[in-house]
């Protein structure tokens, strides 16, 4: 099974061109080093409706991993988990819990994980180091999760 991924950066400053996206490229590099083909990257502003719509569009007919970065903290504009829940069909709390256990600051992340069709969505923090660290916390189980999601049999 080919491992494919898409990356969505959620940030007002990056979307407005006021700041360079550090976490999207960091996630892309890490995914590629783990054998994933990153087939799409997008940037959107911190807007719940836009984030939900974009995740839904990215998942449509897609069999693979969608990683979001940004909008998982406590700032008033951090609404990525809420937007993600709008479009998820099933949550995967074990993945979110695993990512939060990556380091002590991970407990401040409100990110969620779950499925839309045959796409697996995970929310990571907006800092490049935090995003990669949260991804690394679950990277070992993602190929198996994607195989099962695509109809594979459990081992």
pLDDT in tens, 51-78: 999 999 999 999 999 999 999 999 999 9
Element (H, E) at 119: strand 119-124
pLDDT in tens, 4-49: 999 999 999 999 999 999 999 999 999 999 999 999 999 999 999 9
**Domain boundaries defined on the chain:** 25-34+50-149
Token pair listed for 116: 């839309």
CA distance 41 to 27: 10
For residue 154, what pLDDT is reported? 61
CA distance 62 to 65: 9
For residue 1, what pLDDT is reported? 75
Element (H, E) at 149: helix 142-149
pLDDT in tens, 89-146: 999 999 999 999 998 888 999 999 999 999 999 999 999 999 999 999 999 999 999 9
Q: Is a pLDDT exceeding 80 seen at residue 155?
A: no
Q: Which CATH architecture is the domain 25-34+50-149 placed in? A: 3-Layer(aba) Sandwich (3.40)
């Amino acid at each position: 099974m080919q491992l494919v991924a898409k990356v969505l950066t959620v940030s007002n400053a990056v979307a407005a061109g006021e700041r360079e996206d550090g976490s999207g490229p960091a996630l892309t590099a890490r995914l590629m080093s783990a054998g994933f083909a990153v087939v799409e990257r997008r940037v959107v502003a911190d807007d719940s409706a836009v984030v939900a719509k974009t995740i839904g569009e990215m998942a449509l007919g897609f069999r693979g991993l969608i990683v979001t970065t940004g909008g998982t903290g406590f700032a008033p504009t951090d609404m990525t988990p809420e937007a993600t829940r709008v479009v998820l069909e099933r949550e995967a709390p074990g993945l979110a819990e695993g990512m939060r256990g990556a380091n002590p600051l991970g407990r401040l992340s409100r990110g969620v994980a779950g499925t839309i069709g045959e796409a697996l969505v995970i929310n990571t923090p907006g800092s490049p180091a935090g995003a990669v660290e949260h991804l690394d916390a679950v990277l070992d189980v993602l190929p198996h999760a994607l195989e099962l999601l695509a109809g594979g049999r459990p081992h």
